[in-house]
Amino acid sequence: MLFSEGLVMLGDGISHLMTLSNLFTIAWATLLGIIIGMLPGLTATMGVALLVTLTYNMPGDQAILSLICMYVGAIYGGSRSAILLNIPGTPASAATSLDGHPLAKKGLAGYAMGLATTSSAIGTVVGIFCLALLAPMLSELAFDFGSYEFFWLAAFGVVICGKLTSPTDALKGYISGILGLLVAMIGMESLQAYQRFTFDMPELSGGVGIIPAMVGAFGFAEILTVMRNRKDSQVITSKDRVIPRFIDIWRYRRTIFRSGIIGTLVGIIPGVGEDIGSWASYAAARRASKEKEKFGDGSYEGLTAAETGNSAVIPGAMIPVLTLAIPGSTSAAVLIAAMFIHDIQPGPTLMIQNPSFLYQVIAMLLFTTIAITAYGLSMSKLLIKVLSIPREKLMPIVYILCVVGPFAITQRMFDVYVMIFFGIAGFILRELKFPMAPIVLGIILGTLLDTNLRRGLMLTGGDPAPFFTRPISMVLCAVTFLAILLSIPLFRKMVASLFASIGLYRAPVKTADKPS
C-alpha cells in the first residue's frame, strides 16, 4: 500500500471520529478505563471483558472505540495507585511502583503522575507509529502462511506466553496454556462437525464461550480473591506541580525511544502483555543508565521507562490482532472476541476486505492518547479521591456485571454457570500461583491450532513432514522448541557455559551490598 493512500485513510479515520457521539464515547470510556485501572484489583482485561458485554447492541466501530479507550485508559490508570499506594492498579504498573512510590514519599506524587502521564502518551505514540508501519507489511507476509505455519504460530503463542508470564516456574505457565487448549477442544469441531468432550450436554455442543470464560477468570475470580485478601492502604496526597518540565522529558529521550521500541516488540509476541513490556523496558533502562544508583529510590528515568514500555505494548499488541487474528495480550484477546461479535474479521484478509479499519484503529489510539493526557494532567488531584473507595464496596457492582454480561449476549443461564465455574477454577489456580493469561490465550488459539493441524494432515494424507520442512514452519518450530528448552535450568547453564567458552558470554560478577 502506498504511503499517500495510508495518509488518506488515516485522515478519513480521524474525520470519522470527529462526531459528537464518538467524542463522547472517547471521553467516558477513557475516564472509566482510568478509574478501573487505578483501583487495585480491577485489571484492564477485566474492564474490557465486562465492557464487551455492555456494547453488544452498539454499532461495531463505536463498540471497538469504547473497548480501545477502556484498554488504554486502564493500563495508564494503574500508575495512579502504583505511585500513591505502592499497589499497582494493574500488573502492567508493577515496575512503575518501584520509583513512583519513592517519589510520592518525597512529596513529588503530582510530578511523578505527570511524568507517568507524559511517558504513557509518548509510549503509545511510538507504538502507533510502529503499528502503522509494520501492520501492512506483516499482513502481506501473512499470505505466505498456510495451515502448517498457523499451527506453529498458535503453538509458539501459547508456549511463549506460558514461559514469560510465569518466569520463576515455566512449567506452571505451560500447564495453564495446555488447560486453555483443552477447553478449546470442547464442542463441535470445525472440519467434520463431530462433538467432542460434551458429555451429552447439548449446551456444550457450541463450545465454551470465550466471554463467559474471561469474565469468570478475571472478574469473578478477582471478587473471590478480594474477599479472601482484604487490604487497607493510606493514600498519599499531592500538592506539588503535575505538568513535567520539558528538560526532564528531553533528558531521557533515548530511554523513551528504547522503551517504546521494546514495548512494541513485546506487544507483537502473542499473549505476553504489558507487564512484561514494562519490566523489560525498566531492566534495559537500568542497564544503560548513568544513574543506576537512583533506580528503586525515586528515579525519573526508571519511572519514564516503565510507563513508556507498558503503554507501547498496546499498539504493538494490535499488530498481530489485525494482521493474524492472534492476540498480543490478554486484553487484546477480548478485543478479538468483540470484533467477531460485531462482524469485523481480523486477519490477513483485513487489508484487502476492510483496509480502512486499520487506520480507524490508529485514529482511535491517537484520540485515546490525547484523552489520557488531558485527564492525567488536569484531573490527577481529583482522581486521587477515587482511590479512597474500598475495593470491598466495588465488588458487588462487579459481581452484577459478571452475571448480567454473559447472560445478555446469548440469553442463556448456562453461560452464567460457565462464568461461575471459571471464576472458581481461576481463583484456585491463582492461589496455586498459576498464571491466567496462558489459559485465556489457549482458549483463543486452541481452535486455530487444532483446525490447522488436522487440515494440514488432510492435505498431505497424514504426512507431518511439511510442518517441519517448509521454511517459515521450520523457523517457528525451532523457536518454539528453543523457548521450551531455555526454560529448563540445566539447558540454560549448558548454553551459558558454551557461550562463555567461546567468549560470547560473561557471567555477571556478584558484588557485596553497600553498607547502609
Owner of C-alpha cell 462437525: 193
**Cα 309 to Cα 347: distance, rounded to the nearest angstrom:** 26
Contacts of 189 (CB under 8 A, 6+ apart): 195, 196, 450, 451, 454
Contacts of 335 (CB under 8 A, 6+ apart): 48, 64, 67, 68, 71, 318, 321, 327
**For residues 20, 26, 27 and 33, what is the CA-based torsion angle, rounded to 10 degrees?**
160
**Cα 406 to Cα 152: distance, rounded to the nearest angstrom:** 31
Beta-carbon neighbour count of residue 3 at 10 Å? 9
Helix or strand (DSSP H, E) at 188: strand 187-188
Question: Is the pTM value of this prediction over 0.85?
Answer: no
**Cα 57 to Cα 36: distance, rounded to the nearest angstrom:** 22
What does the radius of gyration of the chain's CA atoms come to, in whole angstroms? Answer: 23
**Cα 135 to Cα 358: distance, rounded to the nearest angstrom:** 8
Alpha carbon 510 to chain centroid, angstroms? 34
Alpha carbon 500 to chain centroid, angstroms? 35
According to the model, what pLDDT value does residue 511 have? 43
Contact 34, 380 (CB under 8 A): no
Owner of C-alpha cell 458487588: 396
Angle between helices 253-268 and 109-141 (to 10 degrees): 50
Contact 289, 295 (CB under 8 A): yes
Helix or strand (DSSP H, E) at 50: helix 44-52
According to the model, what pLDDT value does residue 25 have? 93
**Cα 38 to Cα 44: distance, rounded to the nearest angstrom:** 10
Residues of the chain with pLDDT under 50: 509-516
Strand-pair category, 195-196 with 187-188 = antiparallel
According to the model, what pLDDT value does residue 516 have? 36
According to the model, what pLDDT value does residue 366 have? 94
Q: What pLDDT digit, counting tens, does each position of 196-235 carry?
A: 888 888 888 888 887 788 778 877 887 888 777 765 555 5
Alpha carbon 357 to chain centroid, angstroms? 20
According to the model, what pLDDT value does residue 187 have? 85
Alpha carbon 387 to chain centroid, angstroms? 23
According to the model, what pLDDT value does residue 503 have? 64
